[in-house]
């Protein structure tokens, strides 16, 4: 194999690194010199660049601003409540798998069903248990009776605070006690008389 062919094969291996300037300074200088002196190397470089240039010329892909904006809006979660909710849960779980949202949605659905069933289903009558504990007089609320009772208590309290009533009440108690005591003494005197019989003092 002659020197030129060897050089060509070697350049074929490094041509892209040369184009990228991704070789050492010395190596880039080496190839620059070699290319300037060797027509085969020049042709190879030129034909390689022509293909990539042609591709770049015809590559004019246009997504369109409207579609681009929609795509960005969806990515950042600007539109779509479900998308925001999904991204929120994915962010919380720090997972990127889409099926996790399905699991969370299913679990939420079950919880909601449980709540609805508990609300709709028959519960034990709580009124009866209340009536067992609380008297009927309270449950059968009669405002007039209750009001009268309250007034009576208020009156008694007022009287209790009144001095004359206190004296009267004390006297009444004392008088009742005096009557009981005198009655007791009379009974004893009668008994003594009976015990002594007909004997006179």
Partner 1 sequence: MTETELIENCKSGDGEAFRNLLNVYQKQLFGYLWRLGGSQYAAEELFQETTIKIWKGLKNYNGSNKFSSWIFTIAHNTAIDSFRKKRNNTNETEIDENTLVISTETPDQNIIKNENITLLNRAMKNLNEKQKEVFLLRQHSGMKFKEIAKATDQPLNTVLSHMNYAVKKLRKELEVINEH
Number of residues that bind partner 1 (CB under 8 A): 33
Under rule CB under 8 A, residue 189 binds partner 1: no
98 vs 195 by CB, closer to partner 1: 98
Under rule CB under 8 A, residue 169 binds partner 1: no
Shortest distance in whole angstroms from residue 125 CB to partner 1: 54
Shortest distance in whole angstroms from residue 53 CB to partner 1: 10
Under rule CB under 8 A, residue 99 binds partner 1: no
Residue with tokens 């609300």: 119
- Judged by CB under 8 A, which stretch of 63-71, 119-127, 141-149, 178-186 contacts partner 1? 63-71
Residues 6-45 that bind partner 1 (CB under 8 A): 12-13, 15-17, 20, 22
Shortest distance in whole angstroms from residue 65 CB to partner 1: 9
Under rule CB under 8 A, residue 93 binds partner 1: no
19 vs 130 by CB, closer to partner 1: 19
Helix axes 25-37, 3-19, angle to 10 degrees: 130
3-state secondary structure the chain: CCHHHHHHHHHHHHHHHHHCCCCCHHHHHHHHHHHHHCHHHHHHHHHHHHHHHHHHHHCCCCCCHHHHHHHHHHHHCCCCHHHHHHHHHHHHHCCCCCHHHHHHHHHHHHHHHHHHHHHHCCCCCHHHHHHHHCCHHHHCCCHHHHHHHHHHHHHHHHHHHCHHHHHHHHHHHHHHHHHHHHHHHHHHHHHHHHHHCCCCC
Q: Which of 47, 118, 125, 136 binds partner 1 (CB under 8 A)?
A: 47
Under rule CB under 8 A, residue 61 binds partner 1: yes
Q: Binding residues for partner 1, per CB under 8 A?
A: 12-13, 15-17, 20, 22, 47-48, 51-52, 54-63, 67-69, 71-78, 96
């Amino acid at each position: 194999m002659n020197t030129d062919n060897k050089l060509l094969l070697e350049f074929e291996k490094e041509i892209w690194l040369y184009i990228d300037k991704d070789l050492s300074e010395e190596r880039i200088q080496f190839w620059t010199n070699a290319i300037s002196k060797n027509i085969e190397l020049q042709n190879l470089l030129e034909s390689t660049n022509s293909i990539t240039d042609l591709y770049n010329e015809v590559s004019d892909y246009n997504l369109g601003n409207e579609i681009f904006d929609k795509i960005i809006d969806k990515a950042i979660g600007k539109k779509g409540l479900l998308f925001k909710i999904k991204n929120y849960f994915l962010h919380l779980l720090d997972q990127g798998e889409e099926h996790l949202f399905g699991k969370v949605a299913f679990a939420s659905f079950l919880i909601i069903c449980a709540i609805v069933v508990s609300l709709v289903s028959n519960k034990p009558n709580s009124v009866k248990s209340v009536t067992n504990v609380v008297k009927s007089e309270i449950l059968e609320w009669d405002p007039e009776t209750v009001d009268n009772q309250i007034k009576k208590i208020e009156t008694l309290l007022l009287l209790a605070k009144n001095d004359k009533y206190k004296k009267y009440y004390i006297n009444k108690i004392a008088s009742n006690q005096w009557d009981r005591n005198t009655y007791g003494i009379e009974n004893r005197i009668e008994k003594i008389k009976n015990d002594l019989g007909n004997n006179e003092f």
